[in-house]
Amino acid sequence: MSLTSAQVALIESTWKVVKKDLQGAGNIMFLKLFQIDVSVRDKFPFRDVPYEELEDSESFLKHSLQVMETIDLAITLLLGGEMEKLVEALVDLGMAHAMQGLKPEDFDHVGEALVHALGVALGKEFNDEAKKAWTLLYSVVTAKMKEGLKEAQED
């Protein structure tokens, strides 16, 4: 893991704020994602729900929260030094995403949407350093998910 201890501390302190409303931040993230990348919505069970009604869809709400809970788990394991457990969980999660048509790079747009949602939750606190730390964390998390996804899709 290439995060510095200062970056880990920054992630921990900003996450405390975002964690107050994980569902809200997750919803902002996925609503943004579907603006950045319209086609990725087809890969979800709520593909036919109109954009304006997504926040009324249980399956939309569930996945938005699941992503934020994954990030929460990643931070907990990272802080606890449980890297092996973290890598295993993320590779398994990537494997669980081996649905038809999902490409590893689809995860990258989610990262852009996450940065947007963090900016909304944190305001000025989300400065360039915090943005850099979070971008790095997300790329580390998805690197492992991508490994699992590729492995499962090759089988």
Q: Token pair for residue 133?
A: 């730390």
Using CB under 6 A as the binding rule, whether residue 150 contacts ligand HEM is answered as no
Inter-residue contact 77 to 8 (CB < 8 Å): no
CB of 17 to ligand HEM, least distance (A): 19
What is the spatial distance between Cα 24 and Cα 149, in angstroms, rounded to a whole number? Answer: 27
Inter-residue contact 137 to 33 (CB < 8 Å): no
Using CB under 6 A as the binding rule, whether residue 143 contacts ligand HEM is answered as no
CB of 124 to ligand HEM, least distance (A): 26
Using CB under 6 A as the binding rule, whether residue 135 contacts ligand HEM is answered as no
What is the spatial distance between Cα 140 and Cα 2, in angstroms, rounded to a whole number? Answer: 8
Using CB under 6 A as the binding rule, whether residue 127 contacts ligand HEM is answered as no
Residue with Cβ nearer ligand HEM (111 or 122) = 111
Q: What's the DSSP call for residue 123?
A: G
Positions touching ligand HEM (CB under 6 A) are 40, 43-45, 59, 63, 66-67, 70, 93, 96-97, 99, 102, 106-107, 110, 141
